[in-house]
Amino acid sequence: MKVLVPVKRVIDYNVRPRVKADQTGVDLANVKMAMNPFCEIAVEEAVRMKEKGIVEEIILVSIGPQQAQETIRVGLAMGGDRGILVKTDDTVEPLAVAKILKAIVEAEGPGLVITGKQAIDDDANQTGQMLAALLDWPQGAFASAVEKDGDTLKVTREVDGGLQTVALQTPAVVTTDLRLNEPRFASLPNIMKAKKKPIEEKTPADYGVDTANRLSVVKVTEPPKREAGEKVEDVDALIAKLKAAGAI
């Protein structure tokens, strides 16, 4: 089975994001970028499936600017086999991403797509679900465990109030939650090997997808500053404060 893993280049999770002065978005100038952590988990899961012999080939896809090639390269160093860079400098919304991925799925014929549940930049949490709908494939979103059982994938999902286990007929789409696995570091010998792995360059037009935006961002603002708390002497004082604030 082939597995397709989309990987997104986002602001590094260690960086404290700052809103641009004109409130049109987050300032990305001279900011360290890295692979979306949920995508790292997706790559790791695919590599583990390959190590178990469930998967023969791991194809990584990134949609974005030329530099997104580096994100693919990181995935190749973790254990991916080859990459496809769909090059565009425009913002690509989740639906357009899902349409491009659908076209790649049709061209490559993977038995499984593993995506991060969301990217830490826009936190849209839409692409995996949209892709499953467009392909008319079963989906297991927010996976915290994935097990192969014949033609069926048993996916444990983190849902409100507990864990739900679903059985999916492959081909299927799985989106990864934080607790699915702990991604490995790309070791130095694997970094060197990744240099030689192929990355194919494409454009959205190659897949006949119109990436014009359907949404417009009205305003991006910093979250409100957290006000300093207040210390109280004892429980009575706490209750009095809460009553005064109308909380109880």
Closest CB to other proteins among residues 70, 121: 70
Q: Return the percent helix, strand and coil in the chain, to nearest 5.
A: 30, 25, 45
- Nearest approach, Cβ of 69 to other proteins (angstroms)? 8
From the list 52, 53, 149, 188, which residue makes contact with other proteins (rule: CB under 8 A)? 188
Closest CB to other proteins among residues 16, 219: 16
- Binding window for other proteins (CB under 8 A); candidates: 58-66, 96-104, 187-195, 206-214: 187-195
Beta-carbon contacts of 200 under 8 Å, excluding residues fewer than 6 positions away, are 82, 83, 84, 85
Closest CB to other proteins among residues 196, 214: 196
- Binding window for other proteins (CB under 8 A); candidates: 122-130, 166-174, 189-197, 201-209: 189-197
Q: Does 78 bind other proteins (CB under 8 A)?
A: no
d(C-alpha 248, C-alpha 234), whole Å: 17
DSSP letter for 225, please: P
Residue 217 tokens read as 């961002």
| Beta-bridge partners for 112 | 3, 172
- Binding window for other proteins (CB under 8 A); candidates: 130-138, 141-149, 159-167, 179-187: 179-187
d(C-alpha 146, C-alpha 1), whole Å: 15
| H helix or E strand, kind and range, residue 98 | helix 94-108
| Beta-bridge partners for 82 | 59
Q: Does 229 bind other proteins (CB under 8 A)?
A: no
For other proteins, the binding residues (CB under 8 A) are: 34, 70, 73-74, 77, 185-192, 194-195
